[in-house]
């Protein structure tokens, strides 16, 4: 019996919720269970690499279905999570960290790094912009790529999420960060706190910033795109608009601001409630048992990759590829998986294997444990390493 078949025959709720991959794919759109008066909200989560987008998505779903690591570019393409509560379905669209064409070229990243965040925002009802408040550069100024995306899709409502507040020693910094990243304006209203923390001359400057940071002004004179990137890569924005954005500290059109720690349940619950309240009448797109659109194989490979990113030195995991050699359902319900890891150099192979095979054993054990809790069954994962130039 194949894994797909075994997933389809699950008929109690627990088993049904396990069917979040191939099995759930079979429950897509046409099979969505539709109670009366359903509500739907599609949320695109964007931000710089490592802001905590996948961690937040996992916390919202209550299950680890997206890979998370302390290294950048863990998420490589758009992934989808589905949260269904009562009559409301929230579709979470996790995106790769926004980056530039020159960085994509330099680090040989896939096209999805440039395209997916933009395409995802296009289809969203709400954009969540995540900022890591423990990163002192990120909280001085909104990422230029984020600003470009917000400007291009200024008709899609956006909220600002200040993440990793647990790492901030002085919580009063949060007010300053909010003022900077919103240009002192939230939901069309000027923040009062600016008057308290800034002298009058800074207040006047802030006013100027607010005036220049609204949605695109059609009558601005045309200029030259000066970053050496194509117009398409700039989201179709004109040179003068790009120059204005380069000097812009924040976005004055956020509807709301949340300050949270993506790993803290209580904080995440507040954001979840906001999503539920923001959902509009509309048909569900997925069966209520669906958690993600990733296949079990994709989930397995991204879980292994997460551990490689976590434990191997900087460039090694980025140069590796993987393939699944074996996927076998045992009659006792256990799942046997064998994954082959391909490295570019002998030296890398030694690092992956580690002293007396300890490194590869640790990666296999931890990835196997994660997969067991995702698939809700015992997973026995074996890893082997091979050099492939």
Ligand X SMILES: Nc1nc2c(ncn2[C@@H]2O[C@H](COP(=O)(O)OP(=O)(O)OP(=O)(O)O)[C@@H](O)[C@H]2O)c(=O)[nH]1
H or E element: which one contains 244?
A: helix 239-246
- Position 263 contacts ligand X (CB under 6 A): yes
Q: What are the DSSP calls for 21-55, one per residue?
A: SHHHHTTBGGG----TT-EEEEEEEEESTTSSHHH
How far apart CA 334 and CA 361 sit, in angstroms, is 19
For helices 346-353 and 358-375, angle between their N-to-C axes, nearest 10 degrees: 60
Shortest Cβ 78–ligand X spacing (Å):
11
- Position 19 contacts ligand X (CB under 6 A): no
Contact with ligand X (CB under 6 A): which of 18, 21, 74, 248? 74
The size of the interface with ligand X (CB under 6 A), counted in residues, is 24
- Position 97 contacts ligand X (CB under 6 A): yes
Q: Which residues, in sequence order, are bridge partners of residue 131?
A: 162
Which residues within the stretch 52-71 sit at the binding site for ligand X (CB under 6 A)? 52-55, 68-70
Nearest CA to 3 among 348, 295, 269?
A: 295
Residue nearer to ligand X on the CB measure, 48 or 371: 48
Which residues within the stretch 242-261 sit at the binding site for ligand X (CB under 6 A)? 261
User: Under DSSP, is residue 230 helix (H, G, I), strand (E, B) or coil?
Assistant: coil
How far apart CA 333 and CA 212 sit, in angstroms, is 61
Contact with ligand X (CB under 6 A): which of 51, 80, 121, 379? 51
Q: Which stretch binds ligand X (CB under 6 A): 7-15, 73-81, 85-93, 290-298?
A: 73-81
- Position 305 contacts ligand X (CB under 6 A): no
Which residues within the stretch 77-96 sit at the binding site for ligand X (CB under 6 A)? 96
Shortest Cβ 92–ligand X spacing (Å):
12
Q: Which residues contact 126 (CB under 8 A, 6 or more apart)?
A: 41, 42, 43, 44, 156, 157, 158, 159, 275, 278
- Position 294 contacts ligand X (CB under 6 A): no
Half-sphere exposure of residue 116: CA atoms within 13 angstroms, side-chain side: 23
Residue nearer to ligand X on the CB measure, 49 or 296: 49
Which residues within the stretch 145-204 sit at the binding site for ligand X (CB under 6 A)? 163-164, 166-167
Residues that bind ligand X (CB under 6 A): 47, 49-55, 68-70, 72-75, 96-97, 163-164, 166-167, 261-263
């Amino acid at each position: 019996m194949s894994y797909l078949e075994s997933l389809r025959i699950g008929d109690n709720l627990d088993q049904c919720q396990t069917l979040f991959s191939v099995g759930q794919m079979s429950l897509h759109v046409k099979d969505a269970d539709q109670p009366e008066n359903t509500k739907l909200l599609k949320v695109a989560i964007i931000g710089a690499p490592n802001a905590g987008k996948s961690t937040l998505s996992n916390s919202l779903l209550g299950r680890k279905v997206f890979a998370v690591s302390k290294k950048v570019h863990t998420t490589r393409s758009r992934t989808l999570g589905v949260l269904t509560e009562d009559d409301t379905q929230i579709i979470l669209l996790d995106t790769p960290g926004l980056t530039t064409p020159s960085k994509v070229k330099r680090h040989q990243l896939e096209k999805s790094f440039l395209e997916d965040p933009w395409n995802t925002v296009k289809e969203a009802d709400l954009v969540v912009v995540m900022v890591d408040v423990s990163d002192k550069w990120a909280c001085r100024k909104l990422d230029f790529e984020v600003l470009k995306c917000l400007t291009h899709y200024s008709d899609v409502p956006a909220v600002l999420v200040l993440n990793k507040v647990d790492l901030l020693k002085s919580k009063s910094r949060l007010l300053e960060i909010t003022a900077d990243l919103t240009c002192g304006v939230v939901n069309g209203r000027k923040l009062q706190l600016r008057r308290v923390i800034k002298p009058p001359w800074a207040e006047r400057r802030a006013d100027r910033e607010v005036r220049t940071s609204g949605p695109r002004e059609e009558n601005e004179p045309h200029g030259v795109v000066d970053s050496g990137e194509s117009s398409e890569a700039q989201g179709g924005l004109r040179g003068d608009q790009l120059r204005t954005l380069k000097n812009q500290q924040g976005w004055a059109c956020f509807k709301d601001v949340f300050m949270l720690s993506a790993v803290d349940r209580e904080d995440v619950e507040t954001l979840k409630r906001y999503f539920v309240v923001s959902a509009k009448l509309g048909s569900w797109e997925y069966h209520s048992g669906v958690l993600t659109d990733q296949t079990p194989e994709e989930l397995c490979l991204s879980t292994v990759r997460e551990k490689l990113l976590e434990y191997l030195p900087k460039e090694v995991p980025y140069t590796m590829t993987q393939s699944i050699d074996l996927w076998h359902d045992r009659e006792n319900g256990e799942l046997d998986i064998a994954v082959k890891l391909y490295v570019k150099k002998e030296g890398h192979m030694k690092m992956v294997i580690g002293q007396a095979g300890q490194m590869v054993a640790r990666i296999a054990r931890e990835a196997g444990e994660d997969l067991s809790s995702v698939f809700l069954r015992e997973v026995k994962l074996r890893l082997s390493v091979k050099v492939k130039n």
